[in-house]
Structure 1
């Protein structure tokens, strides 16, 4: 068997397009209600004809006005360079050094990075997980497509539907209703509807202050939850350390880690039991790989936030891989959405990540920003 050949690719240009999709199940959280989901579709063109693809989910439509030009600026800056993801990652980050590495800077770099890795895997003729040293296979997933802040009877019925969408063995629900008794009623209703064998993750979406979190998290600590996620604002690591020390239920944070360094700081400060980085904030594939080494050394289970397609590939090479968060919010604009079966996300055995745009859907949902 011959060794994997990685062809040399030359960076040509980037195309970034803004798309806005209607959510089938709108986000209804304590801190926000979202009905329209913004996407930035990224195509990294090479002189050799290989196209790397990725997307960004920046939450706010307005932010696309800044991110799309930043990505096009990368296209001009990197033209003619070899597509070596780690090098492009460092060059792009350093070009934004004076405006800071957090926020929109990291998000733009992450989109570039994911597209570069996709291009390199395509040129190599293998799925990304294989390029990274792993193999194609299924990844355990939980359904995160619903269970927002609605009445107990509504979320109970929805939980059954979500379970059946792909034979899921785990679901995520959201907490943070006006009264804690309403949250407890929702948990009880969902549990009664889906039975004792379905794992339930609970997410407060940063909706509580520390005093509220101390009260509410203790009140749900015996509810048999797989984890309690982000009860307080994401950067209050001292508050998280207090909660982690007091609670029996594992504490999950990480979707707002802007770089592997923040993941390291949280773990070092005993601020969590579990981590779940988001690809547009952790630094794309490159940032994930670096963060996964830290989580692995600490023995901390690592899940993903959003971006299930690229997440599936990197979870196959993550030492402490835990749960994949499944959301189908981008399926509408994908030519071939990933398949969920038996609670597992199945990686297609095709070169790269496996993202191809449904251009008719893209055209129908394009946005001018």
Structure 2
């Protein structure tokens, strides 16, 4: 007899940052500084006693909405075979069809989808990447958390040095300030400090097409791995144009919340790095669907945030990817990722390879039990 999902535990978690951070959206007045990450955790248990854990997240707004939406529809998964992940995914989409198939709707489902993949790999006693099929046991890793705009150039230099000494292979900083010359001055100073260390910049969607072309032209001189989100995230045509115009690769995709939104980049002829985010695109199931298409199109991959999930998914990509290092979620898990020699190494533990910490439990604001424990 096939196994069945018996019980789900949903947790609404608020994780404060040690210090507020600002990117270009703050300096242009579009958002407030980021002070916390809000997460939706799902723990799933089957009748045969197998367990899995997954999560999604939100920054600044939407975390409560994710929790509320999944709480409303999650009972649809009860009694279903946990192996039939896409079938369960589709049933959850239909259960919440009136609010669409992107944004909060799919980000809520993502937490359960990730938990089911974690369960499937744990049951097979394999790391998730090995269950899917890995191309490598480690991935290139770069750090972003030390390069936000509230930090001075000297602070960024210190954090970059510490990251490199800790085994991280690349450094990304934020750009997109109202004064474009300030951006160029900061990039120049950091490039000189880094030497030949791989270096990326991220404008967080704050340039229009004319400014983006000027900035990309100026930034060509700094031998960057990529220029990230120079335009509005949904401007697929503009990003495609930049990707054909300049030698420095363009990167985008982290803000998109469905496979069709990502496919607009491919349809426009985009040829840069794609940065799908599994919790944002709707989970591992749609991530793998899009990554297969991206690979066929010959695109490079650099998943956004959530390294605990994306290390596994990047390891399954046919061409060499980058994984983004953010230490922000470390307090929520008992385990740590092995980082050395410029690379992030797959854990040998089953599933994602993480268990939830006492800190995660203490930061839980509300929880819901669905089904029979």
TM-score (norm 1): 0.91
3-state SS, counterpart of residue 263 of structure 2: helix
The structural deviation recorded for 1:321 is: 4.0
- CA–CA separation in structure 2 for the residues paired with 1:206 and 1:190: 21
In the alignment, what sits opposite 2:232?
A: 233
CA distance in 2, matches of 1:247, 1:332: 40
State the alpha-carbon separation in 2 of the partners of residues 14 and 173 from structure 1: 39
Find 1:367's aligned residue among 350, 365, 368.
365
Structure 2 equivalent of residue 215 of structure 1 = 214
Residue-by-residue CA offset, 1:227-268 (whole Å, 9 max, x unaligned):
000012100122223322322211111112322233222022
SS in 2 for 1:13: strand
User: Secondary structure in 2 aligned to 1:222?
Assistant: helix
Tell me the equivalent position of 2:164: 163
Separation in structure 2 between the aligned mates of residue 235 and residue 272 of structure 1, nearest angstrom: 16
Task: Give the Cα separation in 1 of the matches to 2:3 and 2:339.
Answer: 33
Question: Deviation per CA, 1:26-48, whole angstroms, max 9, x where unpaired?
Answer: 43101132022222222112222
- For 1:48-67, list aligned pairs within 5 A: 48-60=48-60, 62-67=61-66
* Cα separation, 2, equivalents of 1:133 and 1:298: 20
Deviation of 1:50 (Å):
1.7
Contact 1:23/1:37 (8 A) holds in 2:
yes
Q: Is the alpha carbon distance of 1:102 and 1:338 closer, same or farther for their aligned partners in structure 2, counting shifts above 3 Å?
A: same
The answer to whether structure 1 residue 347 and structure 2 residue 341 are counterparts is no
Name the SS of the counterpart of 2:364 in structure 1.
coil
Match of 1:46 in 2: 46
Paired residues of 1:127 and 1:136 also in contact (CA < 8 A):
no
CA distance in structure 2 between the aligned counterparts of 1:279 and 1:106, rounded to whole angstroms? 10
Match of 1:15 among 6, 9, 18: 9
CA–CA distance in 1 between the matches of 2:2 and 2:328?
Answer: 34
**Aligned equivalents of 1:278, 1:261: Cα separation in 2:** 14
Partner of 1:291 in structure 2? 290
Q: 1:348 to 1:241 in 2, by over 3 A?
A: closer
User: C-alpha deviations, 1:66-124, integer Å up to 9, x for none?
Assistant: 21122223331111111121111111122222221111011012111111101111112
Question: Which SS does the other structure have where 1:121 is aligned?
Answer: helix
Which whole-Å CA distance do the structure 1 matches of 2:2 and 2:125 have between them?
Answer: 13
Mapped partners of 1:269, 1:138: distance in 2: 32
The yes-or-no answer on 1:202 pairing with 2:196 is: no
Q: Out of 33-42 and 299-308, give the one that drifted further.
A: 33-42
- Runs of 4+, deviation exceeding 4 Å: none
Range moving further from structure 2, 328-337 or 177-186:
177-186
Judged with a 3 Å threshold, the aligned counterparts in structure 2 of structure 1 residues 187 and 291 are, in CA distance, closer, same or farther, namely same
Q: Structure 2 vs 1, CA of residues 321 and 282 (structure 1 numbering), >3 Å: closer, same or farther?
A: farther
Is the contact made by 1:26 and 1:35 (CA closer than 8 Å) also made in structure 2? yes
Partner Cα distance (1:245, 1:293) in 2:
22
The equivalent residue for 1:258 is: 257
**TM-score (norm: length of structure 2):** 0.90
Report the 3-state secondary structure (helix = DSSP H, G, I; strand = E; otherwise coil) of the residue aligned with 1:266.
helix
C-alpha RMSD of the superposition: 1.9
Describe the SS at the equivalent of 2:141: strand
Between 1:26-35 and 1:199-208, the stretch displaced more is 26-35
Separation in 1, partners of 2:337, 2:137: 12
Q: Distance in 2 between matches of 1:178 and 1:226?
A: 23
Question: In the alignment, is the contact (CA less than 8 A) between 1:141 and 1:170 conserved in 2?
Answer: yes
1:126 and 2:126 matched: yes
Could you say which residue in structure 1 is the equivalent of 2:371?
none
Alpha-carbon distance in 2 for matches of 1:48, 1:353: 20
- Which secondary structure does the structure 2 equivalent of 1:367 belong to? strand
Q: CA deviation at 1:11?
A: 0.9
Aligned residue for 2:344, secondary structure, equals: strand
Aligned-partner Cα distance in 2 for 1:162–1:211 = 34
Measure, in 1, the Cα distance between the counterparts of 2:324 and 2:2: 33
Show structure 1 runs of 5+ residues with no match: 1-6
Change (3 A) 1:12 1:130: same
